Amino acid sequence: MNEPAFQDIVRFPVIQYYEDAFRKATGVPLAVVPPEEPTRRRSFGRSENAFCALAAGTAAGCTACLEGQARAQRGVARQRGPQQINCFAGLTDVAVPVIIRGRHLATLMSGQVFRREPTQRDFAMILEFLGVREDREWESKLRKAYFDTPVVTADRFEAIIHMLNVFAQFLADFADRHAIAHSADEPPAVASAKRFVQERVDEPISLAQVVAHVRVSRFYFCKLFKRATGMTLTEYVTRVRLEKAKTLLVDPSLRVSEIVYASGFGSIPRFNSVFKRYLGMAPTAYRAALRAQMPA
């Protein structure tokens, strides 16, 4: 089975959609960046805070910002959880890891906000730090951007972190499902079998059906599928059904009984048993954990 990589993750269309939706909903930028410590300052693109973009245009500002981003990445890599840092200008950034199969493959970077109202004295100290002299037009732009930076309350900032955690989990699950569904250079019989399973996940699926579909011998197919995916067909079917169930559990309007049959498990006791064996918790506990991460 393919091991997801950062290059695969950033190509997902859902990334651009969520970055835009997150900015519109919170007024805060979001960027999905590699897990390694940066050697150059990473821009947040067109959604970047205007003050940060201007300050990073100076040598002192760029160096200080790079150091802050590197510190956030070190904390994420070490703690495997959300990290908050305060930059040289008093803005707060947050970094949240995307963990897939135990590997830290990406980081969600956000923030660039104040946690308290800035003062004129604060701005004067920043100007002194940046070392910019005799550029009144630039200073005026920097001042406006500085005092236009959002001031975020503790409750709102906590909600932002919750939203980032939810997206990090969703992105990890999405990448894992994508890797399950697509493997490079896999035999045609294996690719055909996977498509067969994915298209009929809510129906009973037997080895005999799959073998008849791909038109190879039972013995040869079992050996080929195991070598290509690291799983038996039964294990693969279970994984696909679990991934669909996890996606459906996000929707609070769906009853667990509906999810059981929509994901092809056939019975609630079997669904509960398989879910707990693979994920270490009951479906209701998984749904409760998702809800707890959602902002109020």
pLDDT single digits (tens) 109-145: 999 999 999 999 999 999 999 987 778 899 999 999 9
Task: Indicate if 77 and 206 belong to the same structural domain.
Answer: no
Strand-pair category, 92-100 with 30-33: unpaired
Q: Which domain holds residue 117?
A: 6-176
Task: Indicate if 163 and 68 belong to the same structural domain.
Answer: yes
CB–CB of 253/259 below 8 Å? no
Task: Indicate if 106 and 201 belong to the same structural domain.
Answer: no
Task: Indicate if 205 and 269 belong to the same structural domain.
Answer: yes
Q: Which helix (H) or strand (E) holds 103?
A: strand 103-113
Task: Indicate if 150 and 207 belong to the same structural domain.
Answer: no
Task: Indicate if 55 and 129 belong to the same structural domain.
Answer: yes
Task: Indicate if 26 and 73 belong to the same structural domain.
Answer: yes
Task: Indicate if 154 and 190 belong to the same structural domain.
Answer: no
Does residue 1 belong to any structural domain of this protein?
Answer: no
Task: Indicate if 111 and 201 belong to the same structural domain.
Answer: no
158, 176, 194 — which closes off a domain? Answer: 176
- Cα–Cα dist 75/83, whole Å: 6
Long-range contacts of the stretch 241-249 (C-beta < 8 A, 24+): 241/201, 241/265, 242/274, 242/275, 242/278, 242/279, 243/173, 243/176, 243/177, 243/180, 244/201, 244/202, 245/271, 245/275, 245/283, 246/173, 246/279, 246/286, 247/173, 249/283, 249/286, 249/287, 249/290
Task: For residue range 136-183, list pLDDT tens digits in order.
Answer: 899 999 999 999 999 999 999 988 998 898 888 878 877 776 666 666
Taking residue 47's Cβ as centre, other Cβ atoms within 10 Å add up to 18
176, 208, 236 — which closes off a domain? Answer: 176
176, 193, 216 — which closes off a domain? Answer: 176
CATH assignment at residue 195: 1.10.10.60
- DSSP character at residue 110: E
Please state the pTM of the whole predicted model.
Answer: 0.65
Task: Indicate if 138 and 12 belong to the same structural domain.
Answer: yes
CB–CB of 114/94 below 8 Å? no
The total number of structural domains that make up the chain: 2
Please identify which residue in the block is written with the tokens 């959002």. Answer: 150
Mean pLDDT of the chain: 88
Task: Indicate if 32 and 54 belong to the same structural domain.
Answer: yes
Task: For residue range 208-232, list pLDDT tens digits in order.
Answer: 999 999 999 999 999 999 988 888 9
